[in-house]
Amino acid sequence: MTNYKALKRWVDEVAELTQADEIYWCNGSDEEYDAMARKLESEGGFSRLNPETHPNCWLHLSDPTDVARVEHLTFVCTSEEEDAGPNNNWMAPDEARAKMEGLFRGCMKGRTMYVIPYCMGPIKSPLSRCGVEITDSTYVVCNMKLMTRMGDRALQRIERDRAFIKGQHSIGELDPENRFIMHFPEDLEIQSFGSGYGGNALLGKKCHALRIASYQARSEGWMAEHMLILGLESPEGKTHYVAAAFPSACGKTNLAMLIPPKTYKGWKVWTIGDDICWMHVGEDGRLWAINPESGFFGVAPGTAEDTNPNALAMLDHDAIFTNVAVTEDNQPWWEGMDDRVPAKDWRGNPYDPANGPAAHPNSRFTVHMSQCASYSNQAEAPTGVPISAIVFGGRRERLVPLVMQAESWNHGVLLGASMASETTAANIDAVGVVRRDPMAMKPFCGYNYADYWAHWLSFREFSDRLPKIFHVNWFRKDADGKFMWPGFGENMRVLDWIIKRCEHNVGFLETPIGKLPLPRDLNLDGIDVPAATMEALLEVDIAAWQAEIADIGEYLDSYGERTPAAIKAEQARVAEALDNA
Ligand code: GTP
Ligand code: SPV
Ligand code: MN
């Protein structure tokens, strides 16, 4: 309960509308988490995994239609449609409110309504922001406990700051026909109905920390981005911080927890965050970043001892597994983990390869950050960490080189704005289709992309100490469809070049699309990538890039008059450089 009137009034209104049987204010304690998990177990929403191998670990099998984000049912409801932009689905706020009111009316009859005050970011950081999620899902409560600083300490901050984002959520009947994720950025409000899954239901994550926060960040002069944050410490003890934006299921968690290869003796990667990054210009002109989350909601398939040992090690206690398979002795299992044969699939049926993968391709684990061996002691720093490099990347089978550096801040913004990637199972639609996903924010930018690019460009006016910008691609394939670059831990070699470029310790090859590594400057000691493969990974195919830059031009133009002139000028400059090459 609270004496803060605006909060109390809103909670009462929602209780009245939803006709909840009972209202429960979450305090955020460990005892509460245990009680909630056992309650969910008694309701059938959780089952206990092998307590010997995985103490305190729970399996949740979702409704089979509710397994990913639903971009086609996600709306940004600004008063002017133009402000949401062509990148978002739009609905007039009045219409959206009326629709949602109809759905929420009476939806919690017979259910408990949980009130979850939460803080995004370190509880003492001036850069953090709070919200309150109201939900009828016990699963959401358990996940919010791991993913956010929730409960009493967040409530105290809300009462002090007198500010919070309102998030109203109900699983409803989990009916895909009655599923909507609505955002009202002008009113700092979220309403989500009909899904219990990840980004649809844990409202602190994509709804608040990206869509609403990006809208706020634009008017307040900061950035809310779909980025991991890592620290790279050299044997001499110097740490550079890197923020990287890759689209959903394109490698952020894996890069954030990278373990350097043996040949990088004394180097260490520290994890600050794996999904979301809020950045502010500091007094020194550098960009300072915090991770608003306190846990990882990570992709399970592909997580293995040889690809991401840090992740595997943090998952053997106190974790939630959603839509994974289980082995005969009730341990969590997914494709790519090892060669055991699972006993039951993600629907709880006996495993039969004829029914497809045993774990859902978008199956996930939820775990508190502190369980990660590479968790940084700077992750709780109220000031955040200073960013040396911003890295963009995506899944591109062809064309896009392993790594390149932007010529300037504006060129970097173009590299971000022209990102494209093959779609993944993180969204409910088709998988493997290349689409433009500027700054990895296509599903998450809470306003018109053209204005967002202008916002990015504007940082050059605030500071001349901005991070250097790079673009990477771990996902090039050869004629046989095999990945050409070993990836995972070996991506350290690319990070190494990036840091050397930040320190101006190596040269570069000037090309029309940006600065590429000189072959001698990429450290390949201890890996066996054939010279011809390396050449292909660093090749710039002029004719193919001419077609790409023309397509980028058309894409930018599709945002009409609002597209900033400076980004079009960069596109024209690159097109001309290609023509002259
Ligand atoms: P979200 O949580 O959806 O935002 O995703 P993410 O960007 O954190 O993606 P994640 O690191 O979980 O990786 C998704 C998938 O890509 C996993 O199946 C990984 O095994 C795979 N992957 C990650 N890094 C690499 C890499 O360097 N090379 C290859 N080939 N695959 C990778
Ligand atoms: C993503 O899809 O980018 C995720 C998972 O990180 S979710 O929380 O479901 O959005
Ligand atoms: Mn994500």
Which residues are catalytic, by number? 250
What is the number of helices (H) and of strands (E) in the chain?
Answer: 16, 29
CA 146/CA 210 separation, integer angstroms: 18
Please, which residues have CB within 8 angstroms of residue 549's CB and are 6 or more apart in sequence? 571, 574, 575, 578
CA-nearest of 319, 307, 306, 289 to 228 is: 289
Distance 439 CA to ligand 2 centre (A): 15
Q: What percent of the chain has pLDDT over 70?
A: 100
Using DSSP's 3-state secondary structure scheme, residue 560 falls into: helix
Distance 36 CA to ligand 2 centre (A): 23
CA 161/CA 259 separation, integer angstroms: 40
Contacts of 567-575 with CB under 8 Å at 24 or more apart are 567/410, 567/413, 567/414, 567/417, 567/453, 567/457, 569/410, 570/410, 570/411, 570/413, 570/414, 571/414, 571/418, 573/411, 574/411, 574/414, 574/512, 574/513, 574/549, 575/546, 575/549, 575/550
Q: What angle do CA 6, 7, 10 make, to 5 degrees?
A: 85
Question: What pLDDT score does 453 carry?
Answer: 98
Ligand 1 pocket: which of 293, 299, 492 to mutate (most atoms within 8 A of CB): 299
CA distances from 261 to 322, 465, 470, 485, 493 (A): 31, 31, 22, 14, 9
Question: What pLDDT score does 433 carry?
Answer: 95
Q: At what angle do helices 409-417 and 449-462 cross, to 10 degrees?
A: 160
- The helix or strand, by DSSP H or E, that contains position 386, with its residue range, turns out to be strand 385-393
User: In the structure encoding, which two tokens stand for residue 211, read together?
Assistant: 């869509």
**392: phi > 0 → left, psi -120 to 50 → alpha, else beta; which?**
beta
CA distances from 345 to 37, 354, 414, 427 (A): 22, 11, 43, 20
CA 491/CA 92 separation, integer angstroms: 45
Mean local confidence (pLDDT), 267-277: 98
Q: Compute the mean pLDDT over every residue in the chain, rounded to the nearest whole number.
A: 98
CA-nearest of 461, 415, 475 to 440 is: 415
Residue in the structure block whose two tokens are 């911080």: 241
CB 166 within 8 A of CB 115: no
Mean local confidence (pLDDT), 43-71: 98
Mean local confidence (pLDDT), 19-28: 98
Whether pLDDT at 137 is above 90: yes
CB 114 within 8 A of CB 26: yes
Please, which residues have CB within 8 angstroms of residue 407's CB and are 6 or more apart in sequence? 514, 515
CA 262/CA 490 separation, integer angstroms: 10
CB 388 within 8 A of CB 240: yes
Ligand nearest to the CA of 252: 1
**Is residue 1 very low, low, confident or very high in pLDDT (cuts 50, 70, 90)?**
confident
| pLDDT tens, position by position, 77-107 | 999 999 999 999 999 999 999 999 999 999 9
CB 319 within 8 A of CB 365: yes
Instruction: Compute, in degrees rounded to 10, the torsion defined by CA atoms 331, 337, 338, 341.
Output: 50
In sequence order, the β-bridge partners of residue 427 are: 69
CA-nearest of 55, 38, 59 to 346 is: 59
Q: Is the CB of 250 under 6 A from ligand 1?
A: yes
Question: What pLDDT score does 441 carry?
Answer: 98
Phi, psi values for residue 109, rounded to 5°: -55, 130
CA 402/CA 491 separation, integer angstroms: 10
Question: What pLDDT score does 38 carry?
Answer: 98
CA 531 to chain centre: 34
Question: What pLDDT score does 462 carry?
Answer: 87
Distance 308 CA to ligand 1 centre (A): 10
| pLDDT tens, position by position, 441-491 | 999 999 999 999 999 999 999 899 999 999 999 999 999 999 999 999 999
Ligand 1 pocket: which of 254, 307, 421 to mutate (most atoms within 8 A of CB): 254
Q: Is the CB of 180 under 6 A from ligand 1?
A: no
Which amino acid residue places its CA nearest to atom 15 of ligand 1? 249
Mean local confidence (pLDDT), 348-370: 98
- The helix or strand, by DSSP H or E, that contains position 413, with its residue range, turns out to be helix 409-417
* pTM of this prediction exceeds 0.95: yes
**Is residue 29 very low, low, confident or very high in pLDDT (cuts 50, 70, 90)?**
very high
Ligand 2 pocket: which of 66, 143, 197, 205 to mutate (most atoms within 8 A of CB): 205
Question: What pLDDT score does 199 carry?
Answer: 97
Q: Is the CB of 366 under 6 A from ligand 1?
A: no
CB 271 within 8 A of CB 374: yes
Mean local confidence (pLDDT), 222-241: 98
CA-nearest of 524, 493, 478, 473 to 251 is: 473
Question: What pLDDT score does 185 carry?
Answer: 98
Amino acid in the structure at residue 123? I
CA 252/CA 299 separation, integer angstroms: 10
Which amino acid residue places its CA nearest to atom 32 of ligand 1? 251
| pLDDT tens, position by position, 306-337 | 999 999 999 999 999 999 999 999 999 999 99
Distance 237 CA to ligand 1 centre (A): 28
Instruction: Please give the DSSP secondary-structure letter assigned to residue 72.
Output: G
Which amino acid residue places its CA nearest to atom 8 of ligand 2? 199
